[in-house]
Structure 1
Amino acid sequence: MSSTAGLSTSSHTNSVNRNPNKFSRTRSKAASVLSKRPTHECFGSIVTVEVGPEKRSFAIHKDLLCFYSDYFRAAFNGSFKEAAEGKISLPDCDAKIFYIFNGFLYTRELCSEAGKTGLELSSTTLSELWVFGDVHLVPALQNLAIDCLIGRIQTLGSLLNTKIPYIYRRTVAGSPLRRMAVDWEVCSPSVTEDNLSCWPRIGLIELAIALSSKQAEHRSFRTLLQSRGKCYYHVHSEGEHC
């Protein structure tokens, strides 16, 4: 394994302009469970990912990246310029979020540059990791991020309401992250005007629908989780489950 793989380096090379829609969704091949591990064949050639407006450069094993992400598999194994050059640019991506993703590829854990791990990461960071995984088709990252987010809000007793507008801007109707946020608020012991003030109109509609169908036995988020099972908020490839 190259000593540079998985580590960030400074670079001032030109980025590859990318149409965000050109790597279309196909039938998922990406690993969605952490028990499915990459083989030694995934640690061969290395590609470069330039992140953010500062073009922070990450050197990563190509097949490892493709093992976890259908997005990067399409980019590096197709007929696009990125495949020929072995380089892709993500100018709109936060380098701090990509750093955690980069570490996840090699450790299957979440760790920030500041050394915070798992439940220690903020609700903001965990939400942004989930959205990154959604955009770049990394289901295993999404599932780990939402598990940590659920654990964090259960420990702290609250979801960071200021992230609700972000969640609704960056997800589609029915997404697991939206459903989790709605379910948490529905099961909250004290729904107040302050809690709901940051929710967009579509979110309030979804809350109203969820409240109208709330079952009496689901008086807490914990009992709701127990009744639905761990995979309810997960994204899985066909044939995979926790």
Structure 2
Amino acid sequence: MATILVGSAQEKFIVHQELLCSKSEYFAKALTGTFEESQTGIVKLEDVSPFLFRIFVTWLYSGKLAYTVVDDSSNIDQDFGSLDGGFNPAIIKASDLNCEDVMTWPEQAFVALYILADRLDVKALRSTTIDILIEFFQEKRNSAMSAGTYRYINSNTTAASPLRKLVLDRLIYGVRYSSEDLAFWKALPHDMVVTVLIELARRIPSELCSSCHSKKPSYNSIALDDDHSCKDKDTAPYKADPCFYHEHADEEEKKACRARRNPVTFG
């Protein structure tokens, strides 16, 4: 067994080491390498939220994301309201939250879980949170996360991060543009705004045919990758194929992932 001490109060989690290391490269290196933790079996994560880590442990054993009530002191609205990342806890109502229904959770919960999964190097959890965020975006077609959340993502991910790519695609394809939103755009990180502008230049206007569109990027010296979602048609990548944001090892793994989502098509 491995002992994980989480948060400033060092809340103790006892987890099966083999299971933990099979899912997390971070823990595999810490507990089976040459570090002190491999001798003591104890890992300290003082700057990690115990609330988020509890969700991670539940997922580790069940394969599902769920909020676990530990004791009478557990408070779901306060826990979600404590999330980092430009989130406004005032909009959270306990009556709107369901411990086991992730679609009632705030989007920022999955942003925070993704960043935790990134730190602990848990690829499967990253994919799970990506898929849930995509489902959120499909349901809330014209809503955007707060500018503070975008800044949080920008500060805690790299340019190559699937999460950053997803939320940028959300801005590009899923948000309406209005002069009333100027304050929101001014509050976004500069490099994110630049990325949105460049990607908008690649989109196919509805009045143009594909052959006309293909001339526009080259005229503007914009090179499209062979697998770019705008290569042949104007569609949000997260609507076309969530695997754009997954980290599959090879084509077989990607094919299996698609088959799980669409058993009739791929079966």
| From 160, 163, 174, the counterpart of 2:145 | 160
User: Cα 1:190–1:105, aligned 2, differ >3 Å: closer, same or farther?
Assistant: same
Quote the offset at 1:237 in angstroms: 4.0
Match of 2:109 in 1: 125
Partners of 1:56 and 1:95 within 8 A in 2 = yes
Partners of 2:134 and 2:242 within 8 A in 1 = no
Provide the secondary structure at the position in 2 that maps to 1:240. helix
Quote the offset at 1:186 in angstroms: 0.8
Match of 1:141 in 2: 125
User: Cα 1:152–1:226, aligned 2, differ >3 Å: closer, same or farther?
Assistant: closer
Partners of 1:131 and 1:170 within 8 A in 2 = yes
Match of 1:240 in 2: 253
> Could you state the TM-score of these two structures normalised by the residue count of structure 1?
0.74
Provide the secondary structure at the position in 1 that maps to 2:27. helix
Partners of 2:134 and 2:238 within 8 A in 1 = no
User: Cα 1:73–1:147, aligned 2, differ >3 Å: closer, same or farther?
Assistant: same
Provide the secondary structure at the position in 1 that maps to 2:174. coil
Write the deviation string for residues 120-170 of structure 1: whole angstroms up to 9, x where unpaired: 221111000011111111010011011111111221232322310000000
* Residue 207 (1) aligns with residue 219 (2): no
User: Cα 1:236–1:219, aligned 2, differ >3 Å: closer, same or farther?
Assistant: closer
Match of 2:8 in 1: 53
Partners of 1:139 and 1:236 within 8 A in 2 = no
Match of 1:21 in 2: none
Unmatched runs of 5 consecutive residues or more in structure 2: 69-75, 77-98, 207-232, 258-267
Partner AA of 1:184 in structure 2:
R
Identity between Structure 1 and Structure 2 (%) = 27
Provide the secondary structure at the position in 2 that maps to 1:57. strand
Aligned partners of 1:57 and 1:159: how far apart in 2?
Answer: 36
* Residue 109 (1) aligns with residue 94 (2): no
Normalized per residue, the structure richer in helix is: 2
- Between stretches 135-144 and 147-156, larger displacement belongs to 147-156
Larger radius of gyration: 2
User: Cα 1:87–1:145, aligned 2, differ >3 Å: closer, same or farther?
Assistant: same
User: Higher relative CO (CA 8 A, sep ≥ 6), structure 1 or 2?
Assistant: 1
| From 160, 163, 168, the counterpart of 1:182 | 168
Partners of 1:187 and 1:219 within 8 A in 2 = no
What's the RMSD between the two structures over aligned residues? 1.8
Provide the secondary structure at the position in 1 that maps to 2:59. helix
Unmatched runs of 5 consecutive residues or more in structure 1: 1-45
Matched residues, number: 194
- Between stretches 49-58 and 145-154, larger displacement belongs to 145-154
